[in-house]
Amino acid sequence: MNLRSLSATLVVMLAAAAVFYWGTDGFRAFTAETARRVEVVDKPRAMPHVQLLDQMGRMFTLQDLAGDPVIVEFIFTRCQTVCLSLGALFYQLQNSLPDHGPASRLQLVTISFDLDNDDRAALHEWAGRFDADPQRWRVARPVDEQGLQALLEAFGVIVIPDAVHGFEHNVAVHLLDSHGRLAHIDDIQPPERLISLVDRLQ
């Protein structure tokens, strides 16, 4: 290879590396899921004003919980796989909270995206399955499709109908800071790690 060809090859490689660097946010985002997690850390997202109905028949919005840290999960109650793991995590969280510090005020919100099947009775049954304390843990659903889509978009949650399992969806826990903004997204983690995150991000 002569010097001119080598120089041209290097230019192409550097250009490709630059495009890859820009497209992956400095090599941090190699997948869409990683990208949404990086983005909310850099720029916490305000939440839309969406009415939710919980297992006790109470109406509320995520903004009503501002001032306290909140962890949000998305499920559907017919799910027999990862949603059960999320429920078990929230059960452990509600029983592991400290007496002092930001995490002592932590609110838990489970949101169903299955509006056709998850009425208040289904939400109440799901809450009972995990002994959810209604003062600490709200199991809820948006009141309409418009609100659901606004929440899914704000959180970056992807839900795909599946004739076999009901839905396929990305699985994560979503931390709202005391300003009501989505500030961190994580995998299912031991309660101690999530409590530490809550304390650090408030």
Quick: pLDDT tens for 19-35.
333 333 444 434 777 88
Q: How far is CA 145 from CA 65, 151, 172, in A?
A: 22, 10, 22
CA distance 52 to 125: 17
List pLDDT tens digits, range 86-126: 999 999 999 999 999 999 999 999 999 999 999 999 999 99
Domains of the chain, by residue range, sit at 3-41, 44-201
pLDDT at 61 over 60: yes
Q: What are the structure tokens assigned to 4, written together?
A: 């001119």
Q: What is the CATH number of domain 44-201?
A: 3.40.30.10
How many CB atoms lie under 10 A from the CB of residue 172?
21
pLDDT-derived band of residue 154, with 50, 70 and 90 as boundaries? Answer: very high
What is the average pLDDT across 45-69?
A: 96
Phi-psi domain of 125 (left: phi exceeds 0; alpha: psi -120 through 50; beta: other):
alpha
CA distance 49 to 43: 19
Q: Is the pLDDT of residue 84 over 60?
A: yes
| Full-model pTM | 0.82
